[in-house]
Structure 1
């Protein structure tokens, strides 16, 4: 019975399930050959890899008893979900920086211990990284702060 609640068993089933779902979703794409790959070749191969990986993890979960699934922690799950929703709502109207600040602070509030200085530092670093990568590096037309930059 303990093996039925093994992390490995359920994560393997999840991998295999995603692989099967990807196979079903890509079943109408032409595969082609290894030399002349069609649009469905790579998705199908990745699906097979996911299914095989899932099968190995499931077998490991059945053979060797591992850690049991932990109880769902509602506070972090809820705060991170709320943070992502707020980010999506603020991104267009307020810009990248305010949306990131809201996301990071809400996610940090879901943790065991809230540290203001570390959270503020994470905001600064992630905003700078996003500006460098998306605005300067990729040349994406995103507002950093709506109406300002």
Structure 2
């Protein structure tokens, strides 16, 4: 296969890492807003909850693509269960409880990705990056949950 990623192996990890790190900006900025601006805390927390929901959905959707290619039916089931927890938590829990649940779900995704055989061939840079990004997102969500009204 002669795709662009194979022609420029150093550029692809840099692009993925850069985009991943840019994706942390809303987690950090919205958490800072919630912590520093009590007047608009609800707005920041609502936006953070929605952003977290979107990122978790994105990550779980990526699992589907991998599971279909690698024929891992268990991953389809696991991703659906996690998504249902995230979905119903988003709509049924208080914002504070959802932020904490969302933080937990980022950690659950990491554990599954480190233990499930489908994810073993992922590049080392990606596995390291996922740990860094997920821990940062989870900490931001927990901090926001701690100050939530």
Higher radius of gyration, 1 or 2: 1
Q: More relative contact order in 1 or in 2 (CA 8 Å, sep 6+)?
A: 2
TM-score exceeds 0.5? no
TM-score, structure 2 normalization: 0.30
**Structure richer in helix, relative to its length:** 2
TM-score, structure 1 normalization: 0.30
